[in-house]
Amino acid sequence: MRRWLLALLFTMLIFGYLSRSIALFPVNAEPLPEETRKLLEKSLSVVELDREIERISKLKGTTQTDIEKSERRIAEQEIAIAVQREKAGRVLRSYYMGYKDFWLSAVINAKSLPQLVRVWDTMDMIMQSDSKAMSGYAEEYRNLKQGYGKLRQDKEDLAAVETQLIAQRERILSLQKDLDQALAASGDEQLLKKLMEELQAYWKNVGLYEVKQHFRALAEAMQNLPDFVKKTPGIIQSNGLKTKLTLSDDQLNEFLRQEDNRFQDFAFTFENGLLTMEGDNGNIKVKIQGRYTVENEPENAIRFHVDSLIFNGLELPDTTRADLEREFDLGFYPQKLIKFVKAQSVSMENGELVVQLSIGG
């Protein structure tokens, strides 16, 4: 075991220093011993949890800034509404104290057309001023309600963010404790530490970038999928108000390889309710598995969710998958294909993606 690790570390160091674009482990190397693989996965999880904590901390700072802005805006709105309330109060008092009767009497008692016009113009000017005062009060009141609503939402968001932050900090402490215990019991603590440091450095500097590049390429390609579907006979089948989209994994592979050369080294398959992307380019070996779901908010879409992400034989944590989902949209939007249709269901079996569509939902 120790001899194997020394040889592996030596090879890794040579490759790491020669080129930052070469994978930490040769993609066709012998599989890692299970205990070593688990330790390396945990070390990657520590790095990714650190990154998630940093993201949440930034989000917390942004949310706190939003709360401060909302509080300042509400203070300004409260001053404005106090002014408008006083104006509106004067208007209402004038009506209840009989000024409208005074103007009605003035109109009735006008002795000439010019006098009537002057009275009418004066009344119109006052009524416009009254209307403006009442409208101003209503508008400021709406603004104040919106300000309170925004502040309440910001505070709820901050509470949720703080809960996430506490949970991730507790998680990383527990994971680091497990890692330290496993290292102490390994008999090769210093060697494994060095191995993990090199892996973490490689992931930060090269691995994460490569994975994101593949997700970015997929997201960009998915924007053109509706055009490919329209041009390919047999994918869309209609029967009255019912429409079915059937896309084979062969067709998906053909489409993606036309879109980006990097997908020449990867294969996509639909099986057992999952989309699996797997392959290597000599530097990295990636396996991504996920599922599509029909969602209606904020719009009808078939969204992709990453269930598993394995990089060079090491599984990455859920925080990495969630981060990639946030950053890259791999979804499919039926209304970009046919207007006024909605996806009703989606399934993946026997090498096919099948989407049931209906017109008008």
Per DSSP (E only), the strands in the chain are 236-239, 242-248, 266-271, 274-280, 285-295, 301-311, 314-315, 341-349, 352-359
Q: Is the pLDDT of residue 174 over 90?
A: no
Residue pLDDT, tens place only, 146-157: 778 888 888 888
Q: How much is the pLDDT for 82?
A: 72
Q: Between helices 318-327 and 208-222, what is the axis angle to 10°? A: 40
Residue pLDDT, tens place only, 331-358: 888 888 878 888 889 999 889 999 998 8
Phi/psi at 286 (nearest 5 deg)? -130, 140
- Domain chopping of the chain, boundaries: 34-178, 189-359
Residue pLDDT, tens place only, 276-297: 999 887 777 889 999 999 998 8
How is 38-90 classified by DSSP, letter by letter?
HHHHHHHHHHHHHHHHHHHHHHHHHHHHHHHHHHHHHHHHHHHHHHHHHHHHH
How is 256-277 classified by DSSP, letter by letter?
HHHH-GGGGGEEEEEETTEEEE
Alpha-carbon gap, residue 301 to 280, rounded angstroms:
30
The pTM (predicted TM-score) of the whole model is 0.68
- CATH no. for 34-178: 1.10.287
- At 356, list the tokens: 């049931």
Residue pLDDT, tens place only, 19-64: 333 344 444 444 556 777 788 888 888 888 888 888 888 888 888 8
Alpha-carbon gap, residue 46 to 24, rounded angstroms:
18
Alpha-carbon gap, residue 65 to 261, rounded angstroms:
44
